[in-house]
Amino acid sequence: MAKLANRAKMTISSTGTGNITLASAVAGYQSFLDAGVSDGDQIRYIVEDNSGADWEIGTAAVSNNSTVLVRTVEESSAANNAALNLTSSATVFIGVTARDLDNAVPIFTTTPPTALELQNDGSTAVTLNAKAYDESGIPVQYSWDAWATGGTTIYDESALPPQFASAPSINQSTGVYSLVGSSNSSNAGSVNFRVKASDGVKVATANTSLVLSFGLSNCYGFRMTQTSGSSLFIMYYMLLDGNGANMWDDASFLADCTFSNHTYSGQTPITYRNADNSLAPAYMKAQQTQLFGTTMADPNSYKIKTVADQSQSAVGDVTWTTPRSISAIVLSGAHPNGSSYWQNGDIRPYIGGNATSNIVAAGTYTSTSSPPLSSSTASGFTGALYKFIDFTA
């Protein structure tokens, strides 16, 4: 290994592509001689010229009372890593480069995703690309482990996380992991999956949050149409994620949404007090709690979106860019003022993308008009005022 020295940086008195003749120490640094460099030493040098725009890295044999460097260029900013044609403004210092390290960590050529959604049918694999290479050409071997956030168990091939239906398969040539999610809804949740790329000594790692949820997967939005109503056409709607939580309480999700034809309330969800048990808010709160066992993240408010159209022909679109799993959509036309605006219409999700061509055919998913509730503050609401689709059913 090349000899190291602390804070050794100097100006030069020579120019061109030949040997480097050192001049004086840069202010705040030592000369090579003062830093302990002797004639005959091999050093790793780094040259900067033209205010750092040009650079060169290499090894050099030291001579002439530590003032001359016989340079061997390894890489540079010049074409084909040629030696720089140095000017008198260049500086040279002793440093450590990747080549000096005993064994550098393998490098990922494709950065693994930070999050990935598993399929929930127990047979369909999703792939995770973690291809890496070793700078020395040593073959890379891949493995993995996993853990639940806040948990104490480390999962591996011998003890799989519950979100997996089977052990991941790994293509050792390509670094591609194939992951099959469980079909058991009781295994829903997330797990931290760590890929490992090893050259036998050093290991590169990357973490991906794997999510197993049940409901409508690969969803990019919804189109809601209202074909009949009274007075204004107004629809209130709420989305529940794969874990049954109100998605309007997720600020990152809300920021990812694009709302079209929402003429009444613009792009901000209406906020109700959590104690508001009148009509639409009460119905949606009861649906969420009774069927999914979840409540609002904010104890003081309850958020839903509204769509309105003075012409009595309401169409509302909400789309997003990151695919989501949706457990349910709840829609109502019952206004807290007692008016029954919603009477009939359709709910159609965007699957596989957020273009109009990704909207599924009408009638693909059947909504429930009479809410399947009992023993709740909203159990008395029946009829066509409400539509509810439970995608986990």
Please, which residues bridge with residue 245 across strands?
none
Going through 26-80 in order, the beta strands assigned E by DSSP cover: 42-49, 54-63, 68-76
Closest CA to 333 of 322, 325, 321, 341: 341
Rounded Cα distance, 179 and 168, in Å? 5
Rounded Cα distance, 263 and 84, in Å? 64
Contact 162, 211 (CB under 8 A): no
Please check whether residue 4 lies inside any domain of the structure: no
Shared domain check, 310 and 295: yes
CATH code (residue 171): 2.60.40.10
Query: In sequence order, which residues have a C-beta less than 8 Å from that of residue 266 and are 6 or more positions away?
Result: 259
pLDDT of residue 240: 79
Pull the structure tokens for residue 369. Answer: 């008009």
If one counts every other C-beta atom within 10 angstroms of the C-beta of residue 93, the result is 19
Which phi and psi (to 5°) does residue 356 adopt? -55, -30
Rounded Cα distance, 379 and 85, in Å? 84
Structural domain that includes position 118: 107-212
> How wide is the angle at C-alpha 168 spanned by C-alphas 323 and 320, nearest 5°?
5
Beta strand 42-49 with 54-63: parallel, antiparallel or unpaired? antiparallel
Please check whether residue 3 lies inside any domain of the structure: no
Shared domain check, 116 and 226: no
Task: Work out how many domains the chain is built from and give that number.
Answer: 3
Examine the fold and report which residue of 186, 212, 238 is the final residue of a domain before the chain moves on.
212
Examine the fold and report which residue of 160, 193, 212 is the final residue of a domain before the chain moves on.
212
Shared domain check, 137 and 96: no
Please check whether residue 66 lies inside any domain of the structure: yes
pLDDT of residue 207: 95
Shared domain check, 238 and 344: yes
CA distances 337 to 126, 281, 380, Å, are 48, 12, 17
If one counts every other C-beta atom within 10 angstroms of the C-beta of residue 281, the result is 25
Please check whether residue 340 lies inside any domain of the structure: yes
Examine the fold and report which residue of 212, 240, 255 is the final residue of a domain before the chain moves on.
212
Show contacts of 27-33: CB within 8 Å, 24+ apart: 29/93, 30/5, 30/6, 31/66, 32/5, 32/8, 32/62, 32/66, 32/67, 32/94, 33/65, 33/66, 33/67
pTM value is 0.50
Please, which residues bridge with residue 209 across strands?
115, 192
Shared domain check, 385 and 250: yes
Which residues of the chain fall short of a pLDDT of 70? 1, 100-103, 227-235, 242-243, 261-281, 283, 287, 290-292, 295-314, 333-344, 366-388, 393
Rounded Cα distance, 240 and 249, in Å? 10
Please check whether residue 1 lies inside any domain of the structure: no
Shared domain check, 367 and 232: yes
Element of type H or E holding 254: helix 251-256
If one counts every other C-beta atom within 10 angstroms of the C-beta of residue 370, the result is 13
Shared domain check, 373 and 235: yes
Shared domain check, 369 and 220: yes
Say how far residue 389 (Cα) sits from the centre of its chain. Answer: 28
> How wide is the angle at C-alpha 384 spanned by C-alphas 230 and 318, nearest 5°?
80
pLDDT of residue 189: 83
Please check whether residue 50 lies inside any domain of the structure: yes
Please check whether residue 195 lies inside any domain of the structure: yes
Beta strand 216-229 with 315-332: parallel, antiparallel or unpaired? antiparallel
Shared domain check, 241 and 128: no
Shared domain check, 232 and 157: no
Beta strand 9-12 with 189-198: parallel, antiparallel or unpaired? unpaired
Rounded Cα distance, 79 and 201, in Å? 34
Rounded Cα distance, 237 and 16, in Å? 73
Element of type H or E holding 282: helix 279-292
Please check whether residue 337 lies inside any domain of the structure: yes
Shared domain check, 299 and 376: yes
pLDDT of residue 381: 47
Shared domain check, 38 and 83: yes
